[in-house]
Structure 1
């Protein structure tokens, strides 16, 4: 049990090992089940359960940092993109806010999928960090897909522009923290030590520009299933206008 939590012990994570593949398969199965049974789910129950799981993941991670004596301003603040979208996912699930949905759908899914496929993770199964990493990142994906498949939310093309603007403003703010703390949140000061998709994008700082292009391409791919359809908010506004005109 001590090894399960020990920050200084544990086997090094290997990409696409049996445990990694199994974690991806479980997420895929969860997505399929959500899609198949979306009309039978207890909406409020599932929505709040997802929010609770994500919140507990963040709380458990910080407890682990403190108990293992590795909490630090330079390394453990929730300023990575997936940490930020995780917290936004919790608020989105509780409030059902459409603007947060836009961010979580595009930035959350894109960032979490990249992390799940190329984990920046120093601990293999069955370490605590292995379970936390995959539950937290899978939870972000499931939160966005829940709002899409079950609640009927839809992104618009303008959502892409708003999320790109959000990410660039966020990057500037996080870069300021990086400079102040000597940190490397969101990998704005350098690439991660473990293998990642950033290894294909050239040296610093040019890979940051490639990241911008990749984000745009991924957002367009995520938007493709909804191209030509009204967003949830636009649809709601149109129905409200129609109702108002009918009453006149």
Structure 2
């Protein structure tokens, strides 16, 4: 229901001053909540180098989602679209969460942040009319590989496991059917690229049809 209401609001406000104000208010809501939770995680009573740093891909996703909502830059939107509509839902289906449940702050943090990012991706796409393309997919794949290399190295140095790049999570997940480490990393990347291609193709097809319709017959 939240996504539907956001799409309706985005379509009504598209091209108006209200669009900018609404999108930036959304960016502030997501950003202030995520920053507050990040401050909470680095407090001395909560500090744990294995979980307290914003190095999961979901952490980078809320950052680019805030920027995309504020500026509507294509590169930020692309990352929000691909990461927010595939990785975030997968994390929500098989949450790696040890919190006892609502209203524990870790529980609220996980679900609120993940849902707001999914809403942001939907709002930008179906509400404001931004669209991905094959270049968007290629750029997102490149950024994802760069993130993976950097975080994998950090994990080796610290013994952490951000992004589950160095070991599978303890909770059941899709990684359990992708083979042992390190092979599941390659399978995960291949499946991710295939999923991104599937959610890119309809937009490129519609763009091609629009271009053909706009071309006058000779």
Interval of TM-score (by shorter of Structure 1 and Structure 2): 0.7 to 0.9
* 1:142 corresponding residue in structure 2: 119
1:154–1:230 Cα contact (<8 Å) kept? no
Matched, 1:169 2:146: yes
- List runs of 5+ in structure 2 lacking aligned partners: 212-218
1:224 deviation in Å?
3.5
Give the whole-Å Cα distance in 2 for the aligned partners of 1:210 and 1:43: 40
* 2:4 corresponding residue in structure 1: 32
* 1:106 corresponding residue in structure 2: 82
1:75 deviation in Å?
2.3
| TM-score of the two chains, using structure 2 as the length reference | 0.85
* 1:191 corresponding residue in structure 2: 168
1:43–1:150 Cα contact (<8 Å) kept? no
1:155 deviation in Å?
0.5
- List runs of 5+ in structure 1 lacking aligned partners: 1-28, 236-248
1:49 to 8, 13, 25: 25
1:67 deviation in Å?
4.2
Give the whole-Å Cα distance in 2 for the aligned partners of 1:36 and 1:225: 21
| TM-score of the two chains, using structure 1 as the length reference | 0.75
2:42–2:52 Cα contact (<8 Å) kept? no
Deviations, residues 170-223 of structure 1 (Å, cap 9, x unaligned) = 111111111222211111110111222211212111110110111112212322
Aligned Cα root-mean-square deviation (Å): 2.0
1:227 to 178, 193, 204: 204
Deviations, residues 111-165 of structure 1 (Å, cap 9, x unaligned) = 1111111111112222222221111011111112222122211111222122111
- The number of aligned residues is 204
* 2:64 corresponding residue in structure 1: 88
